Every structure is written in structure tokens, then in C-alpha cells.
Structure 1
């Protein structure tokens, strides 16, 4: 009987050790839950404006590739508010072994500041002056969907989340698209055959004040891998 009890208690401790809240967040942002939408931005809050649809300024507006829409926040004029933005890696070149052999891994951060639908809205609302980008690293393998994988997926998280890096960035007060190259150095040492994935969190630190409103907006933002020249398709 003692041995039987021991067999039952191991899976329980294993489930407790897993960060299920992080798994749900990671899958919602960077992957697809079966039966639901894929690659969804997740934010601390968003503006609901009287007389407009409740989804007018929702997090997904930051990742719809449209300057005419925006994710907006009103709490504390946006200071300390944050948003997780989807990132699609390239599994063909994201194995730890290959990254370390190349000796480089860069991500491109692209952003359209403020409410860039037109100049009047851009100036009337707050724009972002400084952001902190927190990068979480995940070492994973693909597996058959089951109790050990992230719920609703075929992803098995072998290592992480690990805090990979924090990047402090100052943005120009312009409606033009801005780009920043972020160097990523892998942290996981568990298994060189794992794939590396990244989860990006943008935190608002400072703003450019709007002339009329206290809401802070970002029209578009995204992260993409900078593929090394030798790995680019011909």
C-alpha cells in the first residue's frame, strides 16, 4: 500500500512544480490553443471609452499591422502598464546547438508609437517615450499532446521560463515606424537539442504627454527573428 501511495503522489508534485499560469500565458501569446484564436496579445489593461465599442482599444489592436488602430490604456496614463506581444520563431534555426554554433541571435523590435491614425489623434493622446522589454526564454520540444504538454498544445516545456534579458529603449516622438535590434544570448544549459522560444513583455516607463487626453496609445508593435544571411532562403 505504501508503494502504491508513492506512485500516486509523484504526478501531483510534478503538476505543482509546473508553472501552469505561465504556460497558459505563453500558449495564448505565442501559439494556438485548440479551438481558439492564435497569437493573441495579452495586456495588463486597456481603455474602454464611452460611446465606443468595448473592443475599440483591446490588446490585439497592437498586432493587427494597422496604423489606424491602437492599443490604448488610461490607468496612471499608461505608466507601468504592460503588454505581451506575439512572436513566431523559426524552428528550423532555433535549436540551441545551432544558435551557439552561429554565435548570434537577434530579434527585431518594430513599433509605431502613439495613435497614428492621423496627426491630430497622435498629438492629442499620450505617446510612449521609454519602454522596458523583458524577455523570457523557454526551452521546448514538440511532443504528442497529453498531460505533460502545455494544455491544448503539442509543446513540452523542458526548461524555463528563464529571464533572458531586459532592454531599455527610448522612442522618438514620431508617427513613423521605429526599429530596434535586440541581441539575445541563450541562457538555458539543459540540453543543446532543445528549441529556444522567447516571450516578449513591453512595459511603459515614460510618456510624451498628449495635448488633450491622458490616454496612452501604441498603434503597432512586433518582434521578429533576424535570420542570419547563411540561413536565408535563396
Structure 2
């Protein structure tokens, strides 16, 4: 990994509250760290986890978990994919700012290095110019300007040096905010939703602490370490094979080389892929086994699991496993037959489509009136009024929604179980999601969970982007379990990631800080 350059910046000013001017605040989709502090009294609240730098609460903090004061440890903040960014304005609350006493008792970052990040298919990659600064040893916010290239998705903060704590060697960082200056359209509603996810995470951990137990059957390890079992960077010839191969999990898994270290897990992954190929909601009508033979359901999570899974699996690129964390052990979930009929959904789609048609006609009429008698701009020459109303001009938000398209995806998708509601053998979810930062589109992602008894055996995640669009990797997670103290634990997760650019096989195992 090549660092293009390094800027040594002056010490940042101290602020009571961040003042980012016209820059827009971004919220993380995930936060990872090289380590975090683990101890007995913090088992349930876990307020030393990486994501707590994003909750706007000085009473929580990321605390590194290495020996000594953690010089060299790092935290990575991952936000939306940007394509026309210019700079980040990063604000930090240094140390553990719950109280002045705790601030002085624990170590604080002194010298820090910030690096812009992009997500490559084989992992995080630095980009652009790194900035190294020395923070002041005071309470309050401090700002670090960070130039970034147009294409950027995150920032890594590395501890270069630290201020010693009066009582502890643990180095703490209470909060990290990121604001962006650039030309990407700002989607306030998506950033608000991302922050709500962080707040929900914090609330769930507090509730677990109040109960002094999650009461869940599945108990997550504090974190999982990653082992590379197989990595293949695809050549042009190998990529051509993927282009010419129908994009199904079974056919793409066939491209994975068989090795003794994961031979058994690959066989289980292929069995899940074969079931998915029969049940896929991409198949028309009753050609999908899920629609024709399975039961449409609404899952109920009896025990919250997403927050614990999110922190435990923070090093995992694929969020699909985290999204179904509450369904991995059937003692933590239950299923109810859905009461939404296909006829009701079709009627809603028809009604919404009529309303959008009327709105489109009104928008086109207004657009034509606005353009009459004046010279058109270059974007207006390219985009007609009907196209402008549907978002053709990339420098502005679409003037009409895609609600009917979302409803069509919901009709196509849904949630289904194979077998009985009490003891299903598989669960399939088809979910529509809005994607993109500069332009928006609706994508359809399916997640299949297969069960062996009460425990999930595999989780397969399949998106709808075609190979000619750059492709979206197929993810298959194969789960191995253990039992201890009446709790079920994931002793290993073997993950197959098959994409155009690379084929990877990773294994995640519980890890503790040395």
C-alpha cells in the first residue's frame, strides 16, 4: 500500500462544539479498530467498542486494547461512497471525556495520523494524502482538516504518540465526527438513518447492561480475528470466465479452488447455493420454490442481537450476516405467517403508479413552461423534461420518487420459511434497498439462512447487480458452533467471497486482546 504524501499540520484549535460551516455531516455505516479493551465489568455495556466514537456521547469511548498505551493502534471510520468529494473536516473529542477525572486517569492520543480510505475488493486501501497532527491535551472538540480525493469512503486514524494517564495505560477517544465538502448530492435522510442505527446500537447495549444479561441463546465473542485461507486476484482471462458464466451462486462457487483447509465448508456452501438457485425470488412467479412451496412470514426477534454482532464482526466487509444476526439461533427468533396478500400489494402498486403518473405530467408541464423562450443549458439539452423529472440531471435530486418501483420490489420480494414456522429448515429474505451517493437506484438483495436443528448452518447473500455493471460479489458464510455455560457460540465462520476481481476464502474466529 503506497502512501502518496504526508502533511504535518499545526495543532488543531479547541472548540466547545464543532463548527463545520457549510460542510455536511456524514455518519458511519461501520467503524472498525485494530483492538479494543475487554474486561469483566464491561461485558454487557461494552462502551469501549469502536462504534462509540460515532454516538455523540462523551460518556462512551473507543479504548484500544493493546499492551502499553497503544501506539500504532488504529480505528477506521467508514461512511457512504463519495465520488466528488474535496475535503473532510474531522472533529475529535480526545481522551475519555465522561468526566475530567476519567480524562486525566486514562491515556489520550497525542500525535495522530489521518488517512483517507477506499474499499477495495481485497480490503481497505489508503488513498490521497495523509495528515499527521499533534492534538492538544484538553477537553472539548478539536478539528483536523483532511484533503481527500474525489473518490473516498472513509478515514483511518492511527495513534502515533500518546499522553500518559494518571492511573491507566489505556488510550481513549470519545468521539470522531466527519463532515464533507464536495459536489456529491447530500442525502440528509440517509445520513439520519445511519445515525439512528448508531443510536439504536447504543440503546441496545445500555438495555443489555441494565438487564446484566442479553438473555439470548447466542452469545457473541467480543470480536473475531480474520485468517486468509485463499486469495486469488482474477486475471483478465479469469474475469472473462465470470462474464460468460451465468451469475448464480452455484456457478460462481464452482470457480473456487478446492483446498483441504475449507473443503468441507465449501461443500456446505454449495448445498446452500443449490437451494438458493431453486428458491430465488428472481425467478418468475411460481418458478421460485419459495413462492410456490414455502410460507410467507414476518420474523420476530425475541432477543436483540444486531448490536453485539455488529461489534463482533466489525472487521467483516459484508453486512449481510449482521442483518440476520437475530435469526441465527431459533431460540432467539420466531416466525408468524404474513397477512399481506399479493392482491393487496398489487392494488397498492396500481394506486401509487397512478399518483406518480399525475405528478410526472404536472412536472413535465412546469418544466416546459420554465424552458420556453430561453437558451437551454448543456444538461437541459441532454435531458428532456420527462427525463429531468425522473432525475436525469445528476447535479440535483430526482423531482419524483420511485415509490412504485420500491413497491414492485416488495411484491417480488418478501420473507419466506421452508418447513414449519416452529422449526424451519431455511429462511429467505428479498429486500429492496436504495443505493448510490451521486445517483440513486433501487437494488434487490436476497439473504438465505439454512438451519441444522436450531442453529443456522449457512448464510448466503446475493445482490442483483449484473456482471456487466461491475458485479457484486456473492457471499456465503458457513457457521460452526460450540456450547459453553448454556450458551451457543460461533466458534468459526468460513466466508466465501466470489467476485469479478477476486475470489477470497476467509475464516473468522473469536479473538481476545493479548
TM-score by length of 1: 0.59
Question: Would you say the 8 A contact 1:136–1:165 is kept in 2?
Answer: no
Residue 227 of structure 1, CA deviation: 4.8
Question: Would you say the 8 A contact 2:117–2:127 is kept in 1?
Answer: yes
Residue 182 of structure 1, CA deviation: 1.5
Partner SS, residue 37 of structure 2: coil
Q: Does 1:170 align with 2:125?
A: no
Q: Does 1:132 align with 2:113?
A: yes
Partner of 1:47: 37
Partner SS, residue 77 of structure 1: coil
Question: Would you say the 8 A contact 1:135–1:164 is kept in 2?
Answer: yes
Partner of 1:80: 72
> Cα distance 1:215–1:138, how it changes in 2: closer, same or farther (>3 A)?
closer
Residue 163 of structure 1, CA deviation: 2.4
Q: Does 1:211 align with 2:211?
A: no
In 2, Cα distance between the equivalents of 1:168 and 1:214? 22
Residue 222 of structure 1, CA deviation: 2.3
Matches within 5 A, 1:192-231: 196-227=151-182
In 2, Cα distance between the equivalents of 1:213 and 1:162? 32
Question: Would you say the 8 A contact 2:78–2:153 is kept in 1?
Answer: no
Q: Does 1:62 align with 2:62?
A: no
Question: Would you say the 8 A contact 1:88–1:224 is kept in 2?
Answer: no
Let me know the Cα RMSD of the aligned residues. 3.2
In 1, Cα distance between the equivalents of 2:38 and 2:155? 24
Partner of 2:418: none
Instruction: Specify which structure has the bigger relative contact order, considering alpha-carbon pairs within 8 angstroms and separated by 6 or more residues.
Output: 1
TM-score by length of 2: 0.28
Residue 77 of structure 1, CA deviation: 1.1
Write the deviation string for residues 162-204 of structure 1: whole angstroms up to 9, x where unpaired: 6222110111111111112122245xxxxxxxxx233211100
Q: Bigger radius of gyration, 1 or 2?
A: 2
Question: What stretches of structure 1 of length at least 5 have no aligned partner?
Answer: 1-29, 32-37, 100-104, 140-149, 151-159, 187-195
Partner of 2:94: 113
Q: Which piece of structure 1 moves more, 117-126 or 57-66?
A: 57-66
Write the deviation string for residues 126-183 of structure 1: whole angstroms up to 9, x where unpaired: 01101111212469xxxxxxxxxx7xxxxxxxxx946222110111111111112122
In 2, Cα distance between the equivalents of 1:182 and 1:109? 7
> Cα distance 1:39–1:209, how it changes in 2: closer, same or farther (>3 A)?
same
Write the deviation string for residues 198-232 of structure 1: whole angstroms up to 9, x where unpaired: 3211100100101111100000012220257xx9x
Question: What stretches of structure 2 of length at least 5 have no aligned partner?
Answer: 1-25, 187-395, 397-514
Partner SS, residue 226 of structure 1: strand
In 2, Cα distance between the equivalents of 1:165 and 1:111? 19
The structure whose residues are more often helix, as a share, is 2
In 2, Cα distance between the equivalents of 1:167 and 1:213? 28
> Where has structure 1 moved over 6 Å in runs of 4 or more?
none
In 2, Cα distance between the equivalents of 1:161 and 1:210? 32
> Cα distance 1:53–1:182, how it changes in 2: closer, same or farther (>3 A)?
same
In 1, Cα distance between the equivalents of 2:118 and 2:128? 6
In 1, Cα distance between the equivalents of 2:149 and 2:179? 16
